[in-house]
Amino acid sequence: MTEPPSPTARREELRSALTAVHARIRRACDDAGRVPGDVTLVVVTKTYPVTDIHHLAALGVVDVGEARVGEGSDKVAHCSHLPLRWHAIGQVQTKKAGALARWADVVHSVDRQRLVDSLSRGALASERCVEVLVQVSLDGDPGRGGAPVGEVSALAEAIAAAPGLCLGGVMAVAPMGVEPEKAFAELADVARRVRADHPGAQVVSAGMSDDLEEAVACGATHLRVGTAVLGSRPPLR
Ligand X SMILES: *Cc1c(COP(=O)(O)O)cnc(C)c1O
Please say which residue, 164 or 191, places its beta carbon nearer to ligand X.
Answer: 191
Least gap, CB of 67 to ligand X (angstroms): 5
Please say which residue, 106 or 164, places its beta carbon nearer to ligand X.
Answer: 106
Other residues' Cβ atoms within 10 Å of the Cβ of residue 223: 27
Which residue has the closest beta carbon to ligand X? 226
Least gap, CB of 24 to ligand X (angstroms): 12
Please say which residue, 169 or 226, places its beta carbon nearer to ligand X.
Answer: 226
DSSP code at position 131: E
Least gap, CB of 227 to ligand X (angstroms): 4
**Residues 203, 133 contacting (CB under 8 angstroms):** yes
What are the DSSP calls for 100-120, one per residue?
Answer: HHHH-SEEEEE-SHHHHHHHH
Please say which residue, 67 or 134, places its beta carbon nearer to ligand X.
Answer: 67
Distance CA 117, CA 228 (A): 35
Question: In whole angstroms, how far apart are CA 83 and each of 86, 93, 97, 107?
Answer: 10, 28, 23, 18
Residue 162 contacts by C-beta under 8 Å, 6 or more apart in sequence? 116, 117, 119, 120
Question: Can you say how many angstroms the Cα of residue 111 is from the centroid of all Cα atoms in its chain?
Answer: 14
Please say which residue, 159 or 208, places its beta carbon nearer to ligand X.
Answer: 208
Please say which residue, 23 or 196, places its beta carbon nearer to ligand X.
Answer: 23
Residues that bind ligand X (CB under 6 A): 44, 46, 67, 89-90, 173, 208-210, 224-228
Helices (H) and strands (E) in the chain, counts: 9, 9
Least gap, CB of 205 to ligand X (angstroms): 8
Least gap, CB of 68 to ligand X (angstroms): 10
Distance CA 9, CA 12 (A): 5
